[in-house]
A = this chain, B = another copy of it.
Amino acid sequence: MKRRDFLKKAAGGGLLAASAVTAAPAIAAPRKRFNWKLVTTWPPNFPIFMEGVQRFADDIEKMSRRRFRISVFAGGELIPAMQTFDAVSQGTVQMGHGAAYYWAGKVPAAQFFTAVPFGMNAQGMNAWLYNGGGLNLWRDVYRPFNIVPFPMGNTGVQMGGWFRKEINSIADLKGLKMRIPGLGGKVMAKAGANPVLLAGGEIYTALERGTIDATEWVGPYHDQRLGLYRAAKNYYYPGWHEPGPTLELSVNSKAWAELPEEYQLMVENAAAAANTWMLSEFEAKNLQALQSLKQQHKVNVLEFPPDVIRELRRLTAEVLEDEAKKDRIFREVYQAYRSFNSSNTAWNEISEAAYANALTV
């Protein structure tokens, strides 16, 4: 049980943690109280994301009978959203929630723990992280930053994005100004597009005014709330660039070591429960929103042409090789990811993909 080793090892330094490993006394002494702060990269009231984090905090508070309390802050409430990683790393706060690929500038390899273009979907990511060595690797990568990461949430396969004009060939991507961050953006640049970075609040206006020609955001539920269907009518699938982004809970490693074992296990269990709850909520809400986008808002829901997909897939392999040359840790994680992904794809082809096919054949 690698998880147990990790818990013991990570907790080993803390006095309270050490005592929790020994046999419990007949009537246990009351535990030290913990009042923690959790900062996130999300806007206030951002549905599903913030709901999932709040459920996690509420459940831990109740499981611990209010001895372990976690106050949740939206991005900007306590510190700017994009300083979440640093704040947890430095111990300014004990916990953060966001997505690992936001820290690509600092830790390029972090991108593998969120999503990679043409990489693993949510089910594959969970299998890799929990049961294929991925989470241990993630912890190795974050150790120099004094952060212990946990998977906590997943959006499922995202949509490919909103386009003012139809995409009928790879030539239609040339010169296209598209809001698309990360590795997906690098792939689009190789295809001749101009990837643009814009915060969530700026996207609608930019697309509506034609400052950009296209944008990706999340999925039908969040995209509908942002009103993107009013600014562009062509809604492409699938989200080749983000096929199942894992969200992350980050915990300062010194704070983690000071937690008694029972609270560590509450964090671990509540994070895993929130992981599945968020994905399930995305699935349930996306399917409702998709129907309303098609029926009420007359959106054209279109599949990327096979030629375009093939070319983006080819360019993705190039981008990953480029990045691997630049950074040793990226290279190592890429190798482990690719190896698991390759077996996972083989299994998927005869399980999930073959089953999906059996429903329509």
Contacts and interface: CB of A to CB of B under 8 A. Distances in A.
Interface of A: 20, 23-24, 27-28, 30, 59, 62-67, 118, 121-124, 126-132, 156-157, 159, 219-220, 237-240, 243, 261-262, 265-266, 268-270, 272-273, 275-277, 279-281, 283-288, 290-291, 301, 303-304, 306, 309-310, 313, 343-361
A308 B75 CA distance: 54
A346 B290 contact: yes
Contacts of A270: 269
Name the prevailing secondary structure of the A interface residues.
helix
B306 A344 contact: no
B123 A122 contact: yes
Given A238-B355, A351-B238, A24 B65 contact: yes
Contacts of A28: 30, 65, 67
Given A30-B27, A237-B350, A157 B355 contact: yes
Nearest to A235: B350
Contact of A157 (B265, B266, B351, B361): B351
B265 A347 contact: no
A356 B120 CA distance: 10
Nearest to A126: B280
A42 B355 CA distance: 26
A358 B287 contact: no
A124 B283 contact: yes
Given A28-B30, A123-B156, 9 more contacts: A62-B262, A122-B123, A123-B280, A126-B280, A159-B350, A286-B351, A290-B350, A309-B361, A356-B356
Contacts of A121: 352, 355
Nearest to A312: B358
A4 B359 CA distance: 36
Interface centre among A27, A67, A269, by most chain B C-beta atoms within 10 angstroms, is: A269
